[in-house]
Amino acid sequence: MNPKLLVSILFFCGAAFAQQSADIQFKSTEVVPGLYMIEGVGGFAGGNLGLLTGDDGVILIDDSLPPLSDKMQAAIAKVTGKKVDFVINTHVHGDHTGGNPAMAKAGATIVAHDNIRKRLAANKDFDKTGLPVVTFSDQVTFHLNDKTAHVIHMQNAHTDGDAIIHFKEADVIHTGDLLFNGMFPFIDLNSGGSVNGYIAAQEKILALCGPDTKIIAGHGPMASKADMKANLDVLKDGKKLVGAMIEQGKSEEDVVAANPLAKYHDKYNWQFISTERMTRTLFKSLSK
């Protein structure tokens, strides 16, 4: 593992986080009747959560980080007034699966792509009581509260176990980390992600969007179809720019020095994925 990645992981999971977690609160927003986005405010609280609730039962999409499990469960209970029946993990990262053990203990059935279970099972730091107990390879559909939730696997995009959740009638999509709204995306090449897979996944999501589709991004504010397209366009342009330099025989350091993503820096650079890191990810993934 390169030192930079390690620093980034520590940023997400380390002592600094534990200190600031006291300030974090979860905020619920009703997206359409019975379907909520829950986001952490006041510090980094993991990915945005999706929550479907109604007479038939409750589905939670992703479950934040372990130190926040109590707060997260309290925020969910405030909205639903009952226990969570199913948790769907959009991918393996700890800021989306960290609450699995707490949710399993509270009686939820954890559902995830096959590769998420494999990766969590191999992770010695993961509490195995939170392993997914229902897994799928391609897709699975939930039928609850007069809504369908179509869970669709996207191949080798952010990781090798990504899924999006498409609430067709409600016209809402939870993208997991296949959208960092208004930020350069994290594409985890060490966990099976790829630039081409990420672009293909975003194109598939865009094809599911109508003019009024509401999109819950993995990170960042609620998104529209136009936001989704804007983020995809940045990545496609980045691929074009860095790809052309690779074809000219430029080295990774040459490409970083030339800074082909400079025009996107002010809007898309952020703490975890800097413009330089995005450039290196494009170079590494497209050179393969």
Q: Binding residues for Zn ion, per CB under 5 A?
A: 93, 177
| Shortest Å distance, C-beta 90 to Zn ion | 8
| Shortest Å distance, C-beta 91 to Zn ion | 5
58 versus 273: smaller Cβ distance to Zn ion: 273
Q: How far is CA 164 from CA 67, 72, 145, 158, in A?
A: 25, 21, 19, 11
115 versus 145: smaller Cβ distance to Zn ion: 115
For residue 233, what are the contacts with CB-CB under 8 A and spacing of at least 6?
A: none
24 close to 70: Cβ distance less than 8 angstroms: no
| Shortest Å distance, C-beta 47 to Zn ion | 7
26 close to 38: Cβ distance less than 8 angstroms: yes
65 versus 282: smaller Cβ distance to Zn ion: 65
| Shortest Å distance, C-beta 201 to Zn ion | 13
Give backbone dihedrals phi and psi of 149, rounded to 5 degrees, phi first. -120, 105
Residue 52: Cβ within 10 Å count: 30
The label of the residue with tokens 């589709």 reads 213
80 versus 186: smaller Cβ distance to Zn ion: 186
What is the longest distance spanned by two Cα atoms in the chain? 60
| Shortest Å distance, C-beta 209 to Zn ion | 21
85 versus 177: smaller Cβ distance to Zn ion: 177
